Copies of this chain bind each other. A is one copy, B any other.
Amino acid sequence: MNVQKKLEDLGRKVLSEIERGENPNIEIPIRSLSNVKYDEKTGMLTIGDKVAKRYFFNIAHAKSFMQTTLVAAFCKELKESGLHTSLRDLFYALKRTLPNSQENTFNEQNESDSIIVDLEVALDVLREQLNLNADVRGRIVGDIIIEDRGDEIDLSKLGSGGLAIPSNVEDMKFKKVKAKGILVIEKNAAFERLHEDKFWQKNKLILITTQGQAARGARRMIQRLSQEFNLPVYVFTDSDSYGWYIYSVIKHGSISLSHVSERLGTPSAKFLGLTISDIDKFDLNQWTIKAEEVDIKRAQEMLNYPWFKSPAWQKELKLMIQRKIKAELESLSGRGLRFVTETYLPTKFKEQDFLD
């Protein structure tokens, strides 16, 4: 169903309740941890079916009811005008003091952010479909031609910089995709190294750097390319809990955004490296770093996540906890600047040495 229609239906429902003299309410699925579960079948974190009703005539609900209708009305205007905006701009656009009162519609941005997530869940839409842009981060190169806002863009001909992944890739069209897979890289430095060696061309891969934790635009782009062209996804991060979590979010979704896993997650993604085992296999011991308390603690938590239960992952997590070491992508440069493109990656791909 069309997003504008969903917003209108929400308004009509509330209106008809008012006309019938009922207490108007909006149903919002509960987003707390108790209602988030890991779905073994799809390989994704998903939201359960517990729902709360937000009533207008309820002192505890009245303000958030008002906020919900304000945000929904604003999003409907965005859809009608075709404008896009950011979460922070929405906050400013809706923040005001109610007439004859000291009461603000919103005091802090986290209030409007939270309502936006409520609407995403309640209407089963992405905030990008509500014309709200998320943070941008990430770059892409490869043998692809896309169409975005009427421009046809050849991602194999963008020099050293690559395309800045937009915050919103909903309306992007993929005109031509000549690739056998997608290599997702945590860090820009490694991405640049691979790009300079034209690794994507030689190996028929699309290269994406997330520049840290993947922004929603990057996650959605990975998912769309993977699903629409049946491409395998390989994730390449530092050998530490943070890097492995980046992989996990790309693959399974995140706990806080479990309601959109289905639209942002790529359960078929595989972890390429770095693993702790890689450190021995590729003789990187000289360039490891001592794992901090926080790394160890995080790894211990991950040991218990159902989506890290494969024997291979359990082994790597335990190795890190036992040996108390981690390693960065850049440690491969200890073996020479071209070690990553000439030895490490070719070996991993040849041996299909991936974690799942």
Across-interface contacts of A100 in B (CB, < 8 A): none
What 0/1 pattern do residues 258 to 280 of A give for CB contact below 8 A with B? 00000000000000000000000
Which single member of B89, B165, B189 contacts A193 (CB below 8 Å)?
B89
> How often does this chain occur in the complex, in copies?
2
A158→B336 CA distance, assembly (Å)? 35
A334→B109 CA distance, assembly (Å)? 13
Which single member of B133, B192, B286 contacts A84 (CB below 8 Å)?
B192
Task: Assess whether A337 is in contact with B163, with CB atoms less than 8 Å apart.
Answer: no
Task: Assess whether A337 is in contact with B83, with CB atoms less than 8 Å apart.
Answer: yes
CB within 8 Å for A164 and B167 given contacts A89-B333, A93-B336, A330-B91: no
A91→B189 CA distance, assembly (Å)? 13
A92→B189 CA distance, assembly (Å)? 13
Across-interface contacts of A330 in B (CB, < 8 A): 86, 88-89, 91-92
What 0/1 pattern do residues 158 to 178 of A give for CB contact below 8 A with B? 111111111110001000000
A148→B338 CA distance, assembly (Å)? 22
A95 to chain B, nearest CB (A): 7
Task: Assess whether B334 is in contact with A95, with CB atoms less than 8 Å apart.
Answer: yes
Question: 9 A-B contacts, Cβ less than 8 Å apart?
Answer: A81-B337, A88-B189, A92-B333, A93-B337, A152-B157, A160-B168, A161-B163, A161-B165, A167-B188
